[in-house]
Amino acid sequence: MTIRSFQGKTPVLGSNVFIDDSAVVLGDVVMGADCSVWPCTVIRGDVHEIRIGERTNIQDGSVLHNTHISAHNPQGFPLHIGNDVTVGHNVTLHGCTIHDCVLIGMGAIVMDGAVIESEVLLAAGAMVTPGSHLESGFLYMGSPARQARPLTEEERKFFLYSSNIYVNLKDKHLEEI
């Protein structure tokens, strides 16, 4: 794995974090306990902060970045991800806020200033446009992402099931290292 400091900021990792050898994590990044970062993922906190909660998994080929502070955007857009979030393969998260218990489908894109509340299922390939707000308890799909329907009780249970599966999988990987 590549853990790299940038301009005096070094990533801070919680206990029992797994980062694949091919992943890159750099700069102002704080990651909670039991997170996992899978092959070919980039988490780049070089222009603003990235905060990732506990038991969150960032799957293969995902890119996590943010937007710098400027005269045009005085606060910039940090990237904040909550607890028990599953980020599918090839997802781009850029300067957005993802609350707890969210599943982001493969190939989805979430842009600057977007907020995804807790218990949201974002379908594969969906595009969440800048400044969007996705309300808790719904499936969102499409480009741009639109509310499709309320979540079922089974889908709501899947958030913790998914995060727990990845906690167990990363533990197996850590045992082999």
**pLDDT reported for residue 177:** 87
**pLDDT reported for residue 15:** 98
For the segment 67-91, what is each residue's pLDDT rounded down to a tens digit? Answer: 999 998 999 999 999 999 999 999 9
**pLDDT reported for residue 101:** 98
Residues in contact with 176: Cβ distance below 8 Å, sequence separation at least 6, in sequence order: none
pTM over the 0.85 mark: yes
Q: Which residues pair with 138 in a beta bridge?
A: 150
- Cβ count near 147 (within 10 Å): 14
What domain range includes position 84? 2-176
For the segment 119-156, what is each residue's pLDDT rounded down to a tens digit? Answer: 999 999 999 999 999 999 999 999 999 999 999 999 99
Mean pLDDT, rounded, for 20-33: 98
**pLDDT reported for residue 171:** 98
7 backbone dihedrals φ, ψ, rounded to 5°: 45, 50
CATH number for the domain including 56? 2.160.10.10
Mean pLDDT, rounded, for 147-176: 97
> In total, how many domains does the chain have?
1
**pLDDT reported for residue 65:** 98
Helix (H) or strand (E) holding 157: helix 153-176
Mean pLDDT, rounded, for 16-22: 97
pLDDT of residue 1 exceeding 80: no
139 backbone dihedrals φ, ψ, rounded to 5°: -90, 135
Find out whether 55 and 35 touch, Cβ atoms under 8 Å.
Answer: yes
For the segment 31-62, what is each residue's pLDDT rounded down to a tens digit? Answer: 999 999 999 999 999 999 999 999 999 999 99
pLDDT band at 167 (very low <50, low <70, confident <90, very high): very high
